[in-house]
Structure formats: structure tokens, C-alpha cells
Chains A and B, each alone.
Chain A
């Protein structure tokens, strides 16, 4: 029971702190890659606290509802992850957040929000099947959807599921809103859609979404951590490498279009998943 409570606390409180810190590091590393100094590590927190203290301003009160729903779903997903619950269930709960983000954007009549929302849906369309297949692959290998069982597995999954890890990488890039997939909204606003799904959010509600994004980051890194669950050092190294690779990819690619994204991610992702799944099924 006390374990449960600790897990819940970690999930609710520590995870966003870690997520925010990762965002801060991300910005620094990105800046360094571009030959700049970049912001302080705590910048993400400054931003969010500032946003919290701004005037509350909405286009439609539904935005408030959706922002809360998004951050709650993201938080619950992370808590369930720390409770070592069912992977598929966690994915579904995370999807609730994604859907509410879309619904919130659709509730504004600005075409930027609307187009952003549809692109977000297309992104969901691209990454969700991949994550499901990754989870299925993990299940085929370990015989369980439960994180507790997966963490107890006796060898790093990445040796058996390397292609699935790459496929997860695609999903990760989309989810983290990194180039070439920062279609629905991007971290820097220089995009044809302004801020896409987030265009009409402001102040505290934007802060909530930012926090939700931190939860998402932690959750996704959690997914990645499943691939090296036998030791903390290996796991951390894998996560650090993965995240650095994401930043690198962000900085060496142009933003693409959703048509390309659907085609490319489906073709590559499904091929990788299929190969790996067949390998697991036959092996």
C-alpha cells in the first residue's frame, strides 16, 4: 500500500518536475547545437509559473474544460505507469488527453486552431497504431501487458525488439513535436499554423497544457525505458541517447507535410513492426 502511495506521489509530483527539467535541457542543448547559449535550465518552470499568473482569457469556455481534461489524463497515465499498470490501458488514457487537446482546439473557430486540430488527429493516426504494435510486440516477447512483469523480464528487450524500438522512436518524435513531425504545433512559433492546436489557448490554460506535455514526455520516456529494464545505468543511458537523438533529428530535418508523414510513418513503421513481430512470433 505504501508503495502505491509513493508511486502515486512520484507520478503526480515528481514526473512533471522531471518533464520540465527535460524540456529545459532540451532547449539548452538545442541552443548549443545552433551555436547559442540558450535559456537557463529552469526556463520551462519560469514559463509555466508566469503563464499561471497571467490574465485568464478564453475564446470559448470549453477550452478550459479541455485543458483540464488533457492535463488530468496525462497525469493519470503517468501515475498508472508508476503503479506498473497495464501498458495498453495507459496508452488509451494518454489518448484521452490527446483527444481533448483536439476537441479544445476545434472549439475555437480560428482556422489555425481548426487546421491544427485536424493535423493533430492525423498525427494520432500516425503514431497510435505504432505504439499499439510496440506494446503487442512487448507482450509477445514477455507474455504480459503489465509493466511490473515487463520490468521483471530477464534481459533487455531492445535485443529482441530493436525494430520496434525504432518504430517507437517515430512515435516519440511525433509526440514530442519534433521536426520533421511538428505539424500540428511546434515549439517555436515560426510555422504556417502559428501555434496550431495551441493558437487560441493563453495564460493559465496554456500553462496546463504545457504541464500536460511534461507528463507526456515522462510517459514516453517511460515507454522507452521498458526496452532496457535490467539495470538503472543501462536504462538511463538508453534514455539519454534516445532523447539526444530526438534533439539531433529535430535540428537536422525540415518540417514535413502530413501527407508525407502518414505515408512515411506508416510504410516505415509498419514494416519495422511487422519484421520484428514476425521475428518474435517465429523465434
Chain B
């Protein structure tokens, strides 16, 4: 009846498995897919990300040079990051922090004159 005894006694006497989050934060692994960020400097508002996002949470308006994202709809898949031709998108190694309010991200860039050889989606 007491087959479990050695295991739990061992647990009792050895170090605990618990990671003392939030007092002790483990170094995140490399390339963890966390919070999505767009660099407004490099983004050319091509809209590829918006087209590829499986969750359809990105909206890009080329004319007004806005890049909008619903972070609460993002599923952290990283498809957009892979697809971005400008490598403007990246993911932090940590998740977006919980919040008490709804969030909406808008990035406004400068409206650049369209280059003739710009790739077309």
C-alpha cells in the first residue's frame, strides 16, 4: 500500500522543484515567441503580415501609413515575423504582460513616396 513512500520522502528531503516566480525569473530560452513588436522605422506598411496572419489580427493601411494590431487576438505564432520582408517585425522573449484594460496597438509611420520597384503583394 505504501509504494509511493520513497518518492515522496525523497521529495521531502531534496530540493524543491518550485521556481520562485515572480521573485526569481528564469532566463528565457533563445527565440521564444513572445510579445510582437513592429519597428516603425523599418516597416514599409506593405501589408504582407496582415495577409499572412492566421489570426487576422493585423491591419495595415498603406495610405495613412498605419500598422494596427490587436494584441489580444494575436496567437503568437510568429508567421508574421517570418513573412515580413523588411524584418521589421520581431518577437520579444517574454509574453505581453497581463493588463486590466483592453489594448490596441497603432503604429503610425511617415508616409513615404512609393518606389516604382516596390514588391507588390
Which B positions have Cβ atoms within 8 angstroms of A? 1-5, 8-9, 11-12, 16-18, 20
Check if A35 sits within 8 Å of B11, measured CB to CB. Answer: yes
Choose among A29, A37, A252, A253 the residue with the greatest number of B CB atoms under 10 Å from its CB. Answer: A252
Nearest Cβ on chain B to A29's Cβ, whole angstroms: 8
Check if A35 sits within 8 Å of B4, measured CB to CB. Answer: no
Nearest Cβ on chain B to A28's Cβ, whole angstroms: 11
Check if A252 sits within 8 Å of B3, measured CB to CB. Answer: yes
Prevailing SS type, chain B contact patch: loop
Q: Please indicate the chain B residues that have their CB under 8 angstroms from the CB of A252 in the complex.
A: 1-5, 8
Check if A253 sits within 8 Å of B16, measured CB to CB. Answer: no
| A35 CB contact (under 8 Å) in B2, B5, B17 | B17
Check if A253 sits within 8 Å of B8, measured CB to CB. Answer: no
Nearest Cβ on chain B to A30's Cβ, whole angstroms: 9
**CB-defined A-B contacts under 8 Å, sample of 26:** A29-B12, A32-B11, A32-B16, A33-B8, A33-B9, A33-B11, A33-B12, A34-B8, A35-B11, A35-B16, A35-B17, A35-B18, A36-B16, A36-B17, A36-B18, A37-B18, A37-B20, A248-B8, A251-B4, A251-B8, A252-B1, A252-B2, A252-B3, A252-B5, A252-B8, A253-B1
Nearest Cβ on chain A to B21's Cβ, whole angstroms: 11
Nearest Cβ on chain A to B8's Cβ, whole angstroms: 4
Task: List 5 additional A-B contacts (Cβ < 8 Å) besides A33-B9, A253-B1.
Answer: A32-B16, A34-B8, A35-B11, A35-B18, A37-B20
Q: Please indicate the chain A residues that have their CB under 8 angstroms from the CB of B16 in the complex.
A: 32, 35-37
Nearest Cβ on chain A to B17's Cβ, whole angstroms: 5
Q: Please indicate the chain A residues that have their CB under 8 angstroms from the CB of B8 in the complex.
A: 33-34, 248, 251-252
Q: Please indicate the chain A residues that have their CB under 8 angstroms from the CB of B17 in the complex.
A: 35-36
Bound Cα distance A37, B20 (Å):
9
- Closest A residue to B2 by beta carbon equals A252
Interface residues of A in 233-283 (CB under 8 A from B): 248, 251-253
Nearest Cβ on chain B to A193's Cβ, whole angstroms: 24
Bound Cα distance A251, B4 (Å):
8
| A32 CB contact (under 8 Å) in B1, B5, B12 | B12
User: Nearest 5 A-B pairs (CB), nearest first?
Assistant: A252-B4, A35-B11, A33-B8, A37-B18, A35-B17
- Closest B residue to A253 by beta carbon equals B1
Bound Cα distance A252, B3 (Å):
7
Bound Cα distance A36, B17 (Å):
6
- Closest B residue to A29 by beta carbon equals B12
- Closest B residue to A251 by beta carbon equals B8
- Closest A residue to B6 by beta carbon equals A252
Q: Please indicate the chain A residues that have their CB under 8 angstroms from the CB of B2 in the complex.
A: 252
Nearest Cβ on chain A to B9's Cβ, whole angstroms: 8
Q: Please indicate the chain B residues that have their CB under 8 angstroms from the CB of A35 in the complex.
A: 11, 16-18
Interface residues of A in 1-47 (CB under 8 A from B): 29, 32-37
Bound Cα distance A32, B12 (Å):
5
Nearest Cβ on chain A to B69's Cβ, whole angstroms: 38
Nearest Cβ on chain B to A283's Cβ, whole angstroms: 31
Nearest Cβ on chain A to B12's Cβ, whole angstroms: 5
Q: Please indicate the chain B residues that have their CB under 8 angstroms from the CB of A253 in the complex.
A: 1
Bound Cα distance A126, B8 (Å):
29
Q: Please indicate the chain B residues that have their CB under 8 angstroms from the CB of A248 in the complex.
A: 5, 8
Bound Cα distance A11, B12 (Å):
33
Q: Please indicate the chain A residues that have their CB under 8 angstroms from the CB of B3 in the complex.
A: 252
Per-residue CB contact flags for chain A residues 169-188 toward chain B (1 = under 8 Å, else 0) read 00000000000000000000
Q: Please indicate the chain B residues that have their CB under 8 angstroms from the CB of A251 in the complex.
A: 4, 8
